[in-house]
């Protein structure tokens, strides 16, 4: 018989922040693997563009909803709607995140920015995991939870201590969820992107100095692209990853080991 664990036909996958960047790259691959894909974002125009881009890629349905993941009530209502529409949730990618504001020093990180970064990058992952797990616990098949962290969690990140702290906490949360829910058939893993082209890194992309000093050190020799996250997304949503849990998976072109 053919080996087809990466066929996601019938599976339902949620991608928070799925209307752009890494989230959109993941969502596109999930759609091509024939999953039903639910996109959450806070920008209606970006949601609409992402929906138009994805809805013809596979045999599954693609839907979008405006959800602010820093609001647990909104997250709960969003998960309830998924259950109502599809009857299940097989994978949830907690990808929504915001950057640190491009400050020149830790001393310039203001209270409002600090709280906003933690509210989206950390609280949003917690709320997404908790509410997605609530649904998955009702399913005999369990499910897959994925937190999008960052190499900033494991490397020193000057001028972005608030961002790095939020992403480091995601790794700790992933491990705790993996242990608590493993016997319930729910696995949980973290993905750590390196330097990836996105709206969040536009300033660095525009800097010749950054390209010369940082991107030149990436063994793969280039910026990462959103499409580079399609394979890991399909794998973690698929039956091929049912025994992988509590893992920290780095996708950075070799940057952190060089």
Residues sharing a CB contact under 8 Å with residue 176, sequence separation 6 or more, in sequence order: none
Burial 112-129 (b: 16+ CB within 10 A, else e): ebbebbbbbbbbbbbbbb
Distance in angstroms (rounded) separating the CA atoms of residues 63 and 93: 15
Catalytic residue among 114, 127, 163, 181: 163
Say if CB 225 and CB 196 are below 8 A apart: yes
| CA geometry: angle 157, 24, 188, nearest 5 deg | 65
181 noted as active-site residue: no
| β-sheet bridge partners, residue 30 | none
**Cβ 245 vs Cβ 185: under 8 Å:** no
**16-40 burial: b if 16+ Cβ within 10 Å, else e:** bbbbbbbbbbbbbbbbbbbbbbbbb
Per DSSP, the three-state class of 62 is strand
Q: What is the Rg, in whole angstroms, of the alpha carbon atoms belonging to the chain?
A: 18
Q: Are strands 248-251 and 186-193 parallel, antiparallel or unpaired?
A: parallel
Residues tagged active-site: 163
């Amino acid at each position: 018989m053919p080996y087809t664990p990466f066929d996601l036909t019938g599976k339902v996958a949620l991608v928070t922040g799925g209307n752009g960047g890494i989230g959109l790259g993941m969502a596109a691959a999930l759609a091509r693997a024939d999953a039903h894909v639910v996109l959450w974002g806070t920008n209606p125009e970006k949601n609409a563009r992402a929906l138009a881009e994805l809805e013809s890629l596979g045999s599954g349905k693609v839907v979008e909803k405006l959800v602010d993941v820093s609001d647990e009530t909104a997250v709960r209502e969003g998960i309830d709607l998924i259950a109502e529409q599809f009857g299940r949730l097989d994978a949830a990618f907690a990808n929504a995140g915001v950057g640190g504001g491009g400050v020149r020093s830790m001393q310039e990180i203001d209270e409002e920015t600090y709280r906003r970064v933690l509210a989206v990058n950390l609280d949003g992952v917690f709320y997404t995991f908790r509410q997605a797990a609530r649904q998955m616990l009702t399913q005999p098949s369990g499910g897959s939870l994925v937190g999008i962290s960052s190499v900033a969690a494991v490397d020193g990140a000057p001028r972005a201590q608030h961002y790095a702290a939020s992403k480091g906490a995601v790794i700790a949360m992933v491990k705790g969820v993996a242990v608590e829910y493993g016997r319930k058939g729910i696995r949980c893993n973290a993905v750590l992107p390196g330097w990836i082209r996105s709206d969040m890194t536009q300033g660095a992309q525009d800097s010749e100095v950054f390209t010369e000093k940082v991107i030149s050190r990436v063994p793969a020799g280039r910026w990462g692209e959103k499409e580079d996250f399609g394979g890991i997304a399909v794998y973690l949503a698929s039956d091929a990853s049912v025994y992988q849990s509590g893992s920290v998976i780095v996708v950075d072109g070799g940057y952190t080991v060089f």
